[in-house]
Amino acid sequence: MTKLGKPEFSARLKAGKTVWTAGAYDALSAKLAEEAGFGAVMSTGFGVSASHLGMPDLELYTATENLNVVRNMANAIDIPLIADADTGYGNAINVMRTVRDFEQGGVAAMIIEDQEVPKRCPAVANGVELLPMDEGCAKIKAAVEARRDSNTLIIARTDAFDEDSAIARAKSYVDAGADLIQPISKCFSDFVGLKRLREACGVPLSLQILGWLEKDLDPAQIEDVAGLAVFPLVALMSATQAIRSNLSVLAKSHKTGSLPQLVTSMTDFKQFIGFEEYEAKQAKFLLRTLKTDN
Model confidence pLDDT, tens digit, residues 38-65 = 999 999 999 999 999 999 998 899 999 9
Asked if 169 and 138 count as a contact pair (C-beta separation under 8 A), the reply is no
**For this structure, is 137 an active site residue?**
no
Q: Where are the domains of the chain?
A: 6-239
Mean pLDDT score, 237-242: 98
- Amino acid identity, residue 233? L
Model confidence pLDDT, tens digit, residues 257-278 = 999 999 999 999 999 999 999 9
pTM, entire model: 0.93
Mean pLDDT over each residue of the chain, to the nearest integer: 94
**CATH topology for 6-239?**
TIM Barrel (3.20.20)
- Amino acid identity, residue 16? G
pLDDT at 59: 85
Question: Does the pLDDT value for residue 125 go beyond 70?
Answer: no
Model confidence pLDDT, tens digit, residues 155-172 = 999 999 999 999 999 999
Phi-psi category of residue 88: left, alpha or beta, with phi > 0 → left and psi -120 to 50 → alpha? left
Instruction: Provide the residue count of the chain.
Output: 294
Tell me the residue ranges of DSSP E strands in 174-267. Answer: 180-183, 205-208, 226-231
Question: Does the pLDDT value for residue 143 go beyond 70?
Answer: yes
Which of 121, 137, 187, 201 is labelled catalytic? Answer: 121
Strands 180-183 and 226-231: unpaired
